[in-house]
Structure 1
Amino acid sequence: MQSPPDPSQSPLQFPTVFPIKVMGRREDGFAQVVSEITLKHAPDFHPETIEMRSSKNGRYISFTVTINAKSREQLDALYSELSKHPMVLMVL
C-alpha cells in the first residue's frame, strides 16, 4: 500500500521554466507593475518575453510571464506579491 503524497513536497522539479498568467483591467502602467514585481523575484526574467492578450471587449488584459523558477518558495512569494497588488485581479 502506497502512502499519500506529502503536501510539503512539490511535484515540480526545480529549476524549471514556469509560466504565470496575471490578469487585470486595462490600465496605464499595468505591464510595468507586472514586470517590476516579476524581476524582484526572478532577476533573470526578461520583460521583453511577456505575452499579452486583451479580452474581447478590451476592458481586461492578461500577461503571461515565464520565469526560470528556482524553488517553490520563490514561486509562492511571486504569486503572493502579484495577487496583493491592487491592479491585479487574478494570478494563475
Structure 2
Amino acid sequence: MSDSSETLFEFPCHFPIKVMGRADCGLDAVVIEIVSRHAPGVDTTAISIRPSRGGKWIAVTLTFEAQSKPQLDAIYRDLSAHEQVVWAL
C-alpha cells in the first residue's frame, strides 16, 4: 500500500508530537534530539512545555514538518523506546 492509503495525512504536513514524562529528566532535549534524528532542520522554537498540576510530570509538544508515514513511525518507535518517555501521541 502507498502512504496515502495508510493515513489520512497529506505529506508534507505540519505535525505536532506530544510526549509525556517526568518533569525532572530533561524531556524537552530528548524529544528534540529524537525528532531531529529523523527530521533534520527541526525548528526548536516550535516546542511547548506544559507541567502537570502537581509538577511531577511534563508534556512536551513539538511541531515539525513531517515528510512521510514511515518517518512518523520511526519517530514514534524511537520515542516510545526511550526510558524517559511515558507515552507519545
Q: TM-score, normalised by structure 2?
A: 0.89
Contact 2:46 2:64 in 1 (8 A): no
Q: Find out whether 1:59 has 2:68 as its counterpart.
A: no
Aligned to 2:30: 33
Q: Find out whether 1:71 has 2:68 as its counterpart.
A: yes
Aligned to 1:23: 20
Name segments (4+ residues, structure 1) moved above 2 Å. none
Aligned to 1:88: 85
Q: Unpaired segments of 5 or more residues in structure 1?
A: 1-7
Q: Which amino acid aligns with 1:85?
A: H
Q: Unpaired segments of 5 or more residues in structure 2?
A: none
Q: Could you tell me how far apart the structure 1 residues matched to 2:12 and 2:21 are?
A: 28
Q: Write the deviation string for residues 37-69 of structure 1: whole angstroms up to 9, x where unpaired.
A: 111011121112210000000000010011100
Q: Find out whether 1:43 has 2:40 as its counterpart.
A: yes
How many percent of aligned residue pairs carry the same amino acid? 45
Q: Write the deviation string for residues 11-58 of structure 1: whole angstroms up to 9, x where unpaired.
A: 111101110100001123221111111110111211122100000000
Q: TM-score, normalised by structure 1?
A: 0.87
Q: Could you tell me how far apart the structure 1 residues matched to 2:56 and 2:30 are?
A: 18
Higher Cα radius of gyration: 1
